């Protein structure tokens, strides 16, 4: 008898909680939407240039805001890091830049780091946890290897350029001094160390051409 009573009481409690959550859900959704919208607008006014239609979700990290530009209808997911390092951390004295074109989608956890230049075309799709870098902590010389990595100056071997309509799979790495052509597909987990021609599929470590699409 007591067991049946407890089961009925637990079911009643769960039903009451479900009803309360159902009633509160629209208010939660409204608050969540408002927070996301305000966060996105706050980020937009604190970077070099951002189109009014781009969407920036909460919990991204920005370094060098004044060197970052984001194009029309581009979406940036949570956990993304956009880092444009100035001369204080580098031996490179030009102004760094990260320029992201229109209609791009950048997945969670992506990390773009520039002391030189990272330029991304239009309609580029990024999976999650992708690294794009135009720099490294020092080089392989003995001079740098005798210094703790975190204390080494950042150096750049060249800019990164990504064309239009490119698809980059999850956890790929795009290394310095690389140009990726229009319509290219970069397979997941690839490490791209050389230029990628237009309209081809590359994959592997280091990435090689798998298929050329004519």
**Residues annotated as part of the active site:** 137
Measured distance CA(189)–CA(68) in Å, rounded: 26
- Closest among 138, 139, 132, 135 to 196, alpha carbons compared: 132
Contact between 168 and 128 under an 8 Å Cβ cutoff? The reply is: no
DSSP strand pairing (200-203 vs 185-186): parallel
Give the CA dihedral 85, 88, 93, 96, nearest 10 degrees.
10
């Amino acid at each position: 008898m007591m067991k049946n009573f407890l089961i009925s009481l637990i079911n009643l409690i769960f039903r009451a909680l479900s009803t309360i959550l159902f009633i509160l859900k629209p208010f939660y959704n409204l608050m969540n939407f408002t927070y996301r919208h305000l966060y996105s607008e706050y980020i937009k006014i604190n970077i070099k240039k951002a189109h009014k239609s781009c969407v920036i979700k909460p919990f991204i990290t920005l370094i060098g805001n004044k060197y970052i530009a984001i194009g029309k209808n581009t979406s940036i997911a949570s956990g993304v890091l956009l880092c444009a390092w100035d001369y204080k951390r580098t031996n490179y004295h030009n102004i760094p830049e990260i320029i992201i074109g229109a209609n791009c989608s950048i997945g969670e956890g992506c990390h773009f780091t520039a002391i030189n230049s990272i330029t991304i075309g239009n309609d580029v799709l990024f999976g999650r946890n992708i690294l794009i870098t135009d720099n490294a902590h020092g080089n392989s010389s003995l001079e740098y290897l005798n210094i703790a990595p975190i204390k080494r100056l950042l150096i750049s071997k060249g800019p990164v350029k990504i064309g239009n309509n490119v698809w980059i799979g999850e956890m790929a790495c795009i290394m310095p001094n690389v140009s990726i052509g229009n319509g290219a597909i970069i397979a997941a987990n690839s490490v791209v160390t050389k230029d990628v021609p237009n309209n081809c599929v590359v994959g592997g470590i280091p990435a090689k051409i798998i298929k050329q699409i004519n």
